[in-house]
Amino acid sequence: MRGKIVLITGANSGVGFVTARELAKMGVSVLMVCRDAERGARAQAEVAKVATGRAPELLLADISSQPCPVASSCGNRSGEPSR
C-alpha cells in the first residue's frame, strides 16, 4: 500500500480513526477529513505517531449538509439530499 493516497472522512474517531491509523502504519499517505479542528488535530497527532510514510494531513470540512453530488444515490433527481 506504500505510495497510495487515501482520503478518510470522520477520521477523528471510530472506524474512520482506526482506518486512518492502520493505513498510516502500512505507509499509506492519509488525508484526514474532520469537522472539529481540535479533535482532528488530536487524532492527526495520534496517527502521526504510528505513520511509516508521510505524516497525515488534516482537512477541515463539514460535508454533512452538502447537496448530494450524485442525485440518483440520494433518492431524488434534484441533487438535494433526501429529508
Classify 62 as helix, strand or coil.
coil
**For the whole model, what pTM was predicted?**
0.76
Cα separation, 11 vs 34, in Å, equals 6
Helices then strands, counting H and E runs in the chain, come out as 2, 3
- What is the dihedral sign for C-alpha 15, 18, 24, 30? positive
Beta strands in the chain (DSSP E): 5-9, 29-34, 57-60
pLDDT digits (tens), the chain, 83 positions: 888 999 999 999 999 999 999 999 999 999 999 999 999 999 999 999 999 999 999 999 987 766 665 555 555 545 455 44
Whats the size of the chain, residue-wise?
A: 83
